Amino acid sequence: MIRFDQVTMTYPDAVAPTLRDVDLHVPEGELCLVVGRTGSGKSTLLRAVNGLVPHFTGGTLAGRVTVAGRDTATHPPRELADVVGVVGQDPLAGFVTDVVEDELAYGMESLGLAPDLMRRRVEETLDLLGLADLRARPLATLSGGQRQRVAIGSVLTAHPAVLVLDEPTSALDPPAAEEVLAALQRLVHDLGLTVLLAEHRLERVVQYADRLVHVPGAGAPLQAGAPADVLATSPVAPPVVELGRLAGWSPLPLSIRDARRRAGDLRQRLLHAPHAAALAPLPAPGEEVLTTCDLGVRYGPIVALRDLSLSVRRGEVVALMGRNGAGKSTLLRALTGLTSPAAGAVRVAGADPAALAPRQLVTRVGLVPQEAGDLLYADTVAAECVAADRDAGAPPGTARTLLDRLVPGLADTAHPRDLSEGQRLGLVLAIVLTGRPPVVLLDEPTRGLDYVAKRRLVEVLRALAADGHAIVLATHDVELAAAVSTRTVVLAEGEVVVDGPTSEVVVGSPAFAPQVAKILAPSPWLTVDEVAAALAVAS
């Protein structure tokens, strides 16, 4: 169905190819998972399937890419739209209508299909993806999982043979992610659709993959094959695979069920092992620097937060969790004064953030939004650092020194928009920290980050907490919460439903427990690093 024959892709002004001599065949009816470090070339591989590379991006593509027998060199994206459906990371950005039913029909209108055929396919797609009850709903009112299913449905109505998805679960809570992956499973098994999917959070999807393609980057040869075979040597692996490597299991497990069946001996070894710290312990929390009292926020008739009371101290790392629409991002906005409360009060470092001038605000609280690039406006990294020093009233070079600590080796002349997700996040975090705010807020900080970049982020956040910052991060990434947070707060419908130590909150939650906790339950182990440290002490 999809075939790459000796494909080499070189972008304009690039010193080396992004992809080199790629040979790959994905048969009909397979779910093929594409993995690799940030910036390794995964998106280039995906975009080559529908002709965006090189017709839209420019550059030179050598070799041949064919999809359902069509050569992408001679068929631009518009001539592949009936064969290849593409769903990006942000479904809302790709919608062109306002209502679910209209969005499902739009692609068929563009292809000039007959009205009676369009009506039939819309009904079929509504049933297939469980969207019938949402047909008349405005797209803006849908949850993240619902939007993702509508985005998939909007390309499925054209009956493509291939579906290409770029990080479809990156912004979704665990239940919504399972909802989307279940829909993809039905498409592969019931309709024989070929799905090519890039994803950083392998713990969510690897067990569903028929084939795994590892893109190592720097033009190195691709690794493709059965997921367990590729992951045996890949530096990119989910916790369940890392635990299997640590325990010496062969073949490596890909699912929680398979790992639990083989974890009996490991549980026995850990039964009396000390709970050794995998990382240096953080100091005891200090003074209270963030409080909300009976906080309420409304968007017209919609109540986003209700009677929410919360306090955070210096040195704490607090994970805000909950399903999409629970109120996490609204709370972060209220803590920075971007959203005005309808009731209650907010105090950050002793002041109401909404009453502070910008220069005062940046010295009390800093927010890293979901799209970190939204805070970047200059043409070079150096210009961003200079502006950060000026805005915060900090000595020249402060932002650059922080950046070198977070992302060593980043060139002054690099354009912020050309950076990888991890580099861009590091630059924005350096800008935010230039004001030395006692409170640092992060909204979905691991979106688009690979496992190596995520590990580096954990180190950075722990260092900030050790320096006395209070860290609050809104996240759907249960593995990040397990690795870095000292406390977890779960929101539902704008209210706090759970607030306690992370080890207690996530172990008892089917939705928010990390993979290691699910495998080794009821013992309170959260990460592979914790298990490795305990085994090292026990031996």
Kindly give the residue spans of alpha helices, DSSP state H, lying in 201-337: 202-205, 227-231, 239-247, 256-262, 264-271, 328-335
Q: In this predicted structure, which of 165-169, 278-282, 309-313 has the lowest mean pLDDT?
A: 278-282
Residue 287 has pLDDT above 80, yes or no: yes
**Non-local CB neighbours of 10 within 8 Å, separated by 6+ positions:** 16, 17, 18, 59, 60
Can you tell me the distance from the alpha carbon of 386 to that of 409, in angstroms, rounded to the nearest whole number?
17
Looking at residue 511, its pLDDT comes to: 81
Looking at residue 243, its pLDDT comes to: 95
Can you tell me the distance from the alpha carbon of 424 to that of 443, in angstroms, rounded to the nearest whole number?
14
Looking at residue 410, its pLDDT comes to: 85
Q: How confident is the model over 59-67, as a mean pLDDT?
A: 92
Q: Which of 217, 293, 194, 168 is nearest to 45 (CA)?
A: 217
Residue 278 has pLDDT above 70, yes or no: no
Looking at residue 97, its pLDDT comes to: 93
Q: For each of the domains in the chain, give its residue range(s) and CATH number, in order of start.
A: 2-236 (3.40.50.300), 238-272+515-539 (no CATH), 288-514 (3.40.50.300)
pLDDT band at 418 (very low <50, low <70, confident <90, very high): confident
Residue 387 has pLDDT above 90, yes or no: yes
Helix (H, G, I), strand (E, B) or coil at 5: strand
Q: How confident is the model over 74-96, as a mean pLDDT?
A: 85
Query: Considering the entire predicted model, what is its pTM?
Result: 0.87
Q: Which carries the bigger pLDDT value, residue 278 or residue 374?
A: 374
Q: Which carries the bigger pLDDT value, residue 406 or residue 31?
A: 31
- CA-angle at 46, arms to 190 and 376, nearest 5°: 125
Q: Which carries the bigger pLDDT value, residue 141 or residue 17?
A: 17
Q: In this predicted structure, which of 67-71, 145-149, 273-277, 521-525 has the lowest mean pLDDT?
A: 273-277
Residue 277 has pLDDT above 70, yes or no: no
> Are residues 440 and 433 in contact, defined by beta-carbon separation less than 8 angstroms?
yes
Looking at residue 504, its pLDDT comes to: 87
Looking at the chain, the whole-number percentage of residues with pLDDT higher than 70 is 99
Q: How confident is the model over 482-488, as a mean pLDDT?
A: 93
Q: Which of 463, 471, 464, 406 is nearest to 440 (CA)?
A: 471
User: What's the mean per-residue pLDDT of the chain?
Assistant: 89
* Pairing, β 317-321 against β 487-492: parallel
Residue 280 has pLDDT above 70, yes or no: no
Q: Which carries the bigger pLDDT value, residue 108 or residue 172?
A: 108
Residue 245: is it exposed, middle or buried by C-beta count within 10 angstroms (0-12/13-18/19+)?
Answer: middle
